[in-house]
Every structure is written in structure tokens, then in C-alpha cells.
Structure 1
Amino acid sequence: MTDDIGTMSAFVRAADARSFTIAGQQLGLSSSAVGKAITRLEERLGVRLFHRSTRSITLTEEGAMFLERCRRILGEIELAELELAQTREAPRGRLRISLPIVNALTVPALNAFMRAYPEVQLDLEFSDHLVDVIEDGFDAVIRAGEVSDSRLMSRLLREFHLKLVASPDYLSRHGIPRTPEDLAGHACLLHRFATSRKFERWPLRRDGRDLDIALQPAVAANTIEPLLLMAEQGVGIACLPHWLVRRQLGIGKLRTVLDDYVVHAGTMRILWPASRYPSPKLRVFVDFMSEHLFADSLEQPEAD
């Protein structure tokens, strides 16, 4: 295999230089050695690759076809060597990351990453705006939802479900809603999308059909973390991801309502620009977040 690669390299250099002598000088071989290697290659292939004269060499039609194949093969080998070299390189440098404003979820994992990779500097932008990973110059983005951009690679971090939650104190004062229509008489803590300014729909269904209930927005916020704190303090009912309220449900600080009518499944993903060989710093960040971002929520108790 090594001899074949060396012969291909000699052939490509000879074709580019139109000279066995120049190809030999580039490879540290004699022109005779290059000529003999190519002759053996021609004999093995059963075709003539060069027209030879006393002054120059030119490719035959078969030689031109073979040259393009050899270029691609040698190019792949070069890329493979580059990839292996990158795996040996220590992760270091600046990473620009966009994350949702959910500090309880992201900050512990980010702290652990910085301890594990102190030579990587994180440039973090917390926002619930929909960003363009490439146009806005991010190395990676963590967001909920599916991916339809062919320019991006993605990895699923976790599936999640939305839950309607309220504090026991709120429910004791205002009553427990038994049907979706009962929500019309409750204080609802709504998430408003920052870009569209529309309220996030609560995933209420009955008999397989979506329900459009007129909710009373006691509070509207463009990020979900304040809604969690307000729900804990008895302000109203909020619709939040189960991983965000897992601990509060486990210790009885929050309770779910209308479970029989709430039907939802979503995904949290990490996205980054498509590249055959991502840098070591990006590769370890993606791997680390995939393993650790939801580790705490997975270990927290959940109510029966």
C-alpha cells in the first residue's frame, strides 16, 4: 500500500512537471527511479500513462483519467492525516457560543467544562432570540427544536416535555383547574417569543385535537426562567419543560395540572457549522455538553 501511494505521488508530480527529472528532485529520487516506478505502474495497469520523447513527457488519454483519480486519492490521504493531527492537538482557543437564558440548566455544565478544559475561552451569549449560527459568527448554538439548515451539523441533547405547573399555595387559593376551559379563570404566566412577539402555545389537546383556549396573561416574559420563579412564588400557572421543574416537583414546591390534556414532545439540540473536521476545542465542547448538560436534571428526584 505504501509503495502504491509513493508511486501515485511520483506519477502526479511527473504529470504536473512534465518531467521525470523534476519529479525526482521534488521527491529526493533520481529521474531513473521515477521512470522505472512509473513503468512498473503502467505494466501493472496494462496501459501507457505517458507519451515519452527525448525532451519531454505528455499524458496519454488514459493517463489524464488516471491523474484525476490519483489526485482525489492523495487528497483524501492528506485530509486523513490532517484529521489525525488535529486529534492530537490540545483543545485551546476561543469558542463563541449562543445559549438559551436558562442559567439553572446551562451554568453548572459550563462551569464543569471550564474546569476540564482551562485553555478554552468561552465567549457566551445568552439569548432566546433565534440566531443564524453562520452569519452571526457562532461556533455552536444550543436551542430547542428541529434543524432544517443543511449548512449545520447537530446533535440531540435530550427530548423534553412541557408541563403545566403551579405552586400548592396558588392552587389552594384559586382552585385546581379540572378542564382546559377552567384556565380562563386563572392567572397564566406566558412565554412570548422574542422575535415574533407571539405567545408560545400551551400544548392542550382533547380527543386528539388541539385546543385553542383564551388564556389570561397575568405575566408575559421573553424567557422562561422568570416564569419558573413566579410559579414557585404562587403568582400563577406556567407551562415549562419538565427538566426545568423536575426538582421542584420532586420536593413538592410545584404541582402539575391538567396532565390528561397536555401532550407535547420537543428536543434540545446543539448546532454547529458543518465541517468535515471540527476543531479540537469545538469537538470537545459538543461531546462535553452532550454528556453533562442534562446530568443534574437526570439525577434529581421527580414526583410520582
Structure 2
Amino acid sequence: MDRLGSLNAFVRAAEARSFTVAGRQLGVSSSAIGKAVARLEERLDVRLLHRSTRSITLTADGARFLERCRRIFSEIEAAELELSQTHEAPRGTLRVGLPLAGMLMMPTLVAFMKAYPEVTLDLDFSDRIVDVIEEGFDAVVRFADAGDSRLMSRALGLYRRRLVAAPTYLAAKGAPLTPDDLKAHACLHHRFPTSRKFEQWPVPSGHPGIEIELPKTAVASTLEPLIHMAEQGLGIAYLPDFAIRRQLREGLLVTVLDDYTDRSGPLRILWPSNRHLAPKLRAFVDFLAANLVPSVEGEADSRTSS
């Protein structure tokens, strides 16, 4: 406590350029401020302030130390604010970035809105890589790890991509037994709208660098049309399991070639590390972790790493 008091006395004196003003702000005498700063300088073995009969000025070391002290007190203030808001009801606008496939998360997002009616969701759907901090997002949901040290993250679960088709299609065309059999089937492809690249299917050719050319019965830049076409028996699609959970449960779609579709990836929510978890953000992070991919346990909060 004595150290924090000395730091506070130094910051007030350095900013006011006066022991008298600093003492008045803290309710002590100017000599008490001077002694506190002197004890701090003695402990650090460095001169922080130049004194004269009329004013005080910062030394070069003092200027650097002042910036560090300001950050310390800013963190203390932020911690106190975060604790004071812990019991407040979540409210306000929450700007969230979602991938285009995030439209398939709408049941969970709608459930959140019903549970927290005082939180307004401002949703931005895009497949481009956004700068969370520069573009002013409170949080973003992504299908991959992020290597930005400025961000905090929490795992929402793992998703796996599946080759699926309607039972009526498989009854008419037969189920593929090997990836090579897909060349004789109607294939429904996803193409990323920004890069214009096709999502690669798990079709090993046996020759490195050579891709098997699959039929392109239909191509879409979002997943919803592919799900609908697959449900209607128009072909086989390659889709993330979280997006077709209901269809698989109700038997509208069934998986094929499960032994070859073992690609999985993390689903994460990220937010700026310099931003404390306001009640609205904490509620949103916890709700998604509990409901978006309920079959997979999330990890504890951690800094993202590359």
C-alpha cells in the first residue's frame, strides 16, 4: 500500500508540476508529497523529478516511469470497473463479426436475444479476415485459431465436416464406398465468395499435388442453398456438422464415407484483450460456449497463440 501511495503521489506531482497542488488533490501537505517522492527515488535509486524553488520538471527517467505508472493505475481502474459491473444486467449494443456460415448459428443467436432482451446484437457476416480492434468489433466468431496476441479467445467447440446426402438420393444412385466413387455422383460445391476458391473435399488421389476432378452439379457461395439442395435429393454436399445437426437427427440427411471425413477444426470467439468483459460480452461468450456446440466442452479463457 505504501508503494502504491508513493506512486500515486509521484503521478499527481508530475502531472501538476507541483507538490502543493498534488497535496491538495490527495488531502495531504506538500511536504508529505515531497517525502513520498523522495522515498520512491531512494528505493529506485534514480532521480525522477528536477526540483526548483518555483517548479518541478520530469527527468528523462521520470517521464518513462510516469507513462508506466499511468498504465498501472489505468489497469487498477479497469479492474475496479469490471468488478463493479459484475452484478449489472447485460445491456447495450454488441457488435459481433460472424463468418458467412454464421447464418446457420441464428437459432442460437435468437435464443440469446430472447434470454437477454436488453442486449442489441449488431451482426456483421463476412468471410474476410477482419481487424477486430481497428474495425471496432466487440467480438468475432471464427472457424480457426487466431495468432493475434492482442486478442483473447475462448473455444466454443470442435466442428467436423461431413459428406452428406438425402436417403432418397442414395437409394436411387447408391452410396459411394470410396472417395473415387464420388466422380460418378452429383456433387454440390461451396465456393468462398472473397477468394473464389472451392472448398476442397477429402478426396485423396494417391498422387501428391494432383487433385481428382469432381462433378460440379451445383456451386454456391453460402451453405444454406447446399443444405437445401442436399435435402431435396439433388446430390452430395460437404458440410460442417454443426450446420446440419437437425437434418442428421431427423434423418433428412445421412453421412457417407465417414472414414475419410475426419477433418475437424476449432470454433472460437475472440475479443480485444485490452477490453474488460462487460456484462453484455460476458453473457454472450458464456451463452455461445454453452449452446452453440453443446456436444463439445469449451476450453478456459486464454490468450490466442499462433
Q: TM range, normalised to the smaller chain?
A: 0.7 to 0.9
Tell whether the 8 Å contact from 1:203 to 1:210 is kept in structure 2 after alignment: no
Partner residue of 2:7? 8
Residues 205 and 263 in structure 1, CA contact (< 8 A), matched pair in contact too: no
- Could you tell me which of 128, 131, 134 is aligned with 1:130? 128
Q: SS of the counterpart of 2:79? A: helix
Q: Which amino acid aligns with 1:139?
A: D
Rounded Cα–Cα distance in structure 1 between residues aligned with 2:261 and 2:25: 71
State the secondary structure of the residue aligned to 1:217: coil
Q: Which moved more, 1:146-155 or 1:86-95?
A: 146-155
Task: Please tell me whether the aligned partners of residues 47 and 62 of structure 2 are also in contact (alpha carbons under 8 angstroms).
Answer: no
Q: CA deviation at 1:177?
A: 1.4
Q: In the alignment, which residue of structure 2 is the partner of 1:301? A: none
Partner secondary structure for residue 163 of structure 1: strand
> Higher relative contact order by CA 8 Å / sep ≥ 6: 1 or 2?
2
Shift of 1:223: 1.1
Aligned to 2:217, the other structure's residue is in SS state strand
Task: Give the root-mean-square deviation of aligned CA atoms.
Answer: 3.4
Q: Structure 1: how far apart are the matches of 2:54 and 2:214? A: 84
Q: How far apart are 1:92 and its partner, in Å?
A: 2.4
Quote the residue 2:257 is aligned against: 258
User: Normalising by structure 2, what TM-score?
Assistant: 0.78
Work out whether residues 165 and 237 of structure 1, in 8 Å CA contact, stay in contact via their aligned partners in 2: yes
Identify the residue that residue 194 of structure 1 maps to in structure 2: 193
* Secondary structure in 2 matching 1:138: coil
Partner SS for 2:108: helix
User: 1 CA distance for matches of 2:128 and 2:51?
Assistant: 62
* Cα pair distance change 1:52/1:80, threshold 3 Å: closer
The 5-angstrom pairing of residues 107-186 of structure 1 reads 107-127=106-126, 129-134=127-132, 136-150=135-149, 152-186=151-185
Amino acid at match of 2:21: I
| 3-state SS of 1:238 partner | strand
Task: Tell me the equivalent position of 1:84.
Answer: 80
CA contact (8 A) 2:192 2:199 kept: yes
| Structure 1 residue 201: Cα displacement | 0.7
1:75 matched residue in structure 2: 71
Larger of the two Rg values belongs to structure: 1
CA deviations on 1:195-238 (whole Å, 9 max, x unpaired) are 12222110223779687221111111111122122212211111
| Unmatched tracts of structure 1, length 5 or more | 299-304
Query: Identity over aligned residues, as a percent?
Result: 52
Q: Note the C-alpha offset of 1:34.
A: 3.2
CA contact (8 A) 2:151 2:270 kept: yes
Cα distance in 2 between the residues matched to 1:46 and 1:179: 74
Of the structure 1 ranges 226-235 and 282-291, higher mean CA displacement relative to structure 2 is found in 282-291
- Equivalents in 2 of 1:18, 1:209: separation in Å? 70
Matched with 2:236 is 237
Whole-Å separation in 1 of the counterparts to 2:269 and 2:18: 51
Residue number in structure 1 paired with 2:247? 248
